[in-house]
Structure 1
Amino acid sequence: MLRSEQEQLRKNIEQWVEQYGRDRSALLPVLKKVQHDYGHISEYVMQVIADILDIHPVEVHGVVSFYSFLGQRQKGRYVIRLCRTISCDMQGKDRVARQLRNDLGIEFGEMTPDGHFTLEWANCLGMCDEGPAMLVNDRIYTRVTPERIHDILEECRKSFGVYPTPMKEAEPA
């Protein structure tokens, strides 16, 4: 990461801290904002946040590693989470998972080479009566069938022009 990118990233984090507060209660909202805007939370970012909030970096790392929606690895613009509970399993989750893998050309836990999609499992989406359930970023899809996957992915692809390319992994200062 270039020095100018680091400086801009630090400015952004400082703005978010001002917005959410300068104590531990700001940690999660700031991390969510970084995850949303940059696609991941690097070691460098965790150190910057710890410095600004005056907390130990291990506290920041603990929060990042605890919440599955936060992550140190780069994620695609669209994070697709397929519910893997027994109720979704009984309603055809495996067929939907196979279609996702085929259409995206990746396995669960991977990101497409173009950085547009990440495929993950979710332990429960709370939609057991309407499975299989799938979450694409913040949008829930229920009663998902393999036939619907193409349309859902096309809906995502139509919006690519309005989102910046995912940022490369941050290097320590």
Structure 2
Amino acid sequence: MKISFSESAMKEFQDILTRYPNKRAAMLPTLHLVQREFGWISREAMEYVGELLEVPFSEVYDTATFYTMFKLKPMGKYHLQVCHTLSCALRGAGHLCDHIREKLHIDNGEVTEDGKFSFVKVECLGSCGTAPVVQINDDYYEGLDTQKLDEVLDKLE
């Protein structure tokens, strides 16, 4: 299956290119654009990026698989990433993970049947002073407990 950007995404891609000295340097923002456009980065999307940037597939693959912020399989519309490193763990991240499992009926790395939510435990999100933190798509939710998390999730439903 051949994929391609929508007209608006192609305009954004062209704008991205103007900000970099060469096409290869635009790899990360282009991968972010692909993820916003398609929801995740498939093999076909990596091949497409390689064509756009005139770089080998292997370079795109290496970059996409190196960074944890890129989704390499379909995820939910709302992607919950729960930090489980020391500060967050000490301040209740485990309780949040348990609560997500019970509320959404999914485990780490899974997607709800309706495709609305996905959940993964991740390493440090860099917000230790406001632990525990959950990142939902591009937004951070800090200082959460199960009640506050429910309020956030209920607004998304």
Runs of 4+ in 1 over 3 A off after TM superposition: 10-17
Are the structure 2 counterparts of residues 52 and 41 from structure 1 closer, same or farther at C-alpha, using a change threshold of 3 Å?
same
Contact 1:78 1:136 in 2 (8 A): yes
Contact 1:23 1:53 in 2 (8 A): yes
Equivalent in the alignment of 1:129: 129
CA distance in structure 1 between the aligned counterparts of 2:150 and 2:81, rounded to whole angstroms: 16
1:54 equivalent in alignment to 2:54: yes
TM-score by length of 2: 0.88
TM-score by length of 1: 0.80
Aligned residues between the structures? 152
Identity of aligned residues (%): 28
Equivalent in the alignment of 1:150: 150
Stretches of structure 2 lacking an aligned partner (at least 5 in a row): none
Equivalent in the alignment of 2:15: 19
- What's the CA shift for 1:122? 2.1
- What's the CA shift for 1:24? 0.9
CA distance in structure 2 between the aligned counterparts of 1:141 and 1:57, rounded to whole angstroms: 35
Equivalent in the alignment of 2:73: 73
CA distance in structure 2 between the aligned counterparts of 1:121 and 1:86, rounded to whole angstroms: 13
Higher relative contact order (CA 8 A, sep 6+): 1
Contact 1:81 1:119 in 2 (8 A): yes
Are the structure 2 counterparts of residues 134 and 11 from structure 1 closer, same or farther at C-alpha, using a change threshold of 3 Å?
closer
- What's the CA shift for 1:151? 1.0
Contact 2:5 2:37 in 1 (8 A): no
Stretches of structure 1 lacking an aligned partner (at least 5 in a row): 158-173
